[in-house]
Amino acid sequence: MVLSVFAYGFMQRAFLVGILLALIIPCIGIVMILKRLSMIGDALAHTSLAGVATGLIFNFNPILGAMAATVTAALGIEAIRKKIPRYAELAIAVIMSTGIGLAAVLSGFVSNAASFNSFLFGSIVAVNDFELLLVVLVSAAVLLTFILLYKELFLIAYDEEAARLAGVPVKTINFIFTLMTAVTVSVAARTVGALIVSSMLVIPVACGLQLGRSYRQTVLLSIGFALVFTIAGLLIAYYAGLKPGGTIVLTGVITLLLLFAGRHLATRLRRAKKPHTA
């Protein structure tokens, strides 16, 4: 019965796209979280809606518009961070406000509101061949870049100053990471939805951090969790008639809560086993 879901071409594409994104999203998310910039995904996702609206208004693929908007927004965040490094979160707030404002204004000129709304919560089962190809290319590029720059991204994630002293070209690596984040968010916004893509960047990594004992282990666990959430979420959504994007995220949230509860219980059991001293 479970395998019957693969009898449909649109579900085959949905699983392929979901698995590809599950491989790359945690790679972006873990660096963002360690850099204390976990909300950057939210800012870029909201800004991507301005690009989506632009694409719908001028009749070109909305994902290309979303890519242009997110790349511009990501570069804007990086530029503001350099001007006021002590208040990095302010850069995210400024760009998010700008993106939301532009999206709200431009959406009023979109003739097909249903097309625009599909990007709010995603439509992974409606991915066409061009969008599938785009996801494949972006996933391959992001994954390859992450592997090649693994050490450099690890260093700047923990301490940019130490990375600079170690000879890492911090500005160049940050620029490359900014582009990786922008294109990943733009393609993910189409599948899981612009309003919840930031959750996909954070939740699998948060789960990985609960169990991982090293950076490498946390990366692998985060990818594993993202794959499980995506596959389980798609299966549940298909058979229960739910929205795929929201189901994937809620599957992750429930898992994270269970991990929190499990760690709390394990801590209490360890304390209970300790011998009491007078």
Angle (CA) 77-52-16 rounded to 5° is 95
Give the whole-angstrom CA distance, residue 63 versus residue 55: 8
Tally of residues, the chain: 278
pLDDT digit string, tens, across residues 48-73: 999 999 988 998 888 889 999 999 99
pLDDT digit string, tens, across residues 212-223: 999 999 999 999
Res. 278: pLDDT tops 80: no
Q: Is the dihedral of CA 150, 154, 156, 161 positive or negative?
A: negative
Burial of 172 (0-12, 13-18, 19+ CB in 10 A): exposed
- pLDDT at 173 (0 to 100): 92
Instruction: Name residues whose C-beta falls within 8 Å of residue 172's C-beta, 6 or more positions apart in sequence.
Output: none
Res. 196: pLDDT tops 50: yes
Confidence of residue 148 (pLDDT cuts 50, 70, 90): very high
Res. 38: pLDDT tops 90: no
CATH fold of 8-196 reads ABC transporter involved in vitamin B12 uptake, BtuC (1.10.3470)
Q: How many CB atoms lie within 10 A of CB 170?
A: 17
Give the whole-angstrom CA distance, residue 53 versus residue 116: 7
Residue 70 · residue 44 · CB < 8 Å: yes
What's the pTM value of the predicted model, to 2 decimals?
A: 0.88
Indicate the average pLDDT of the chain. Answer: 87
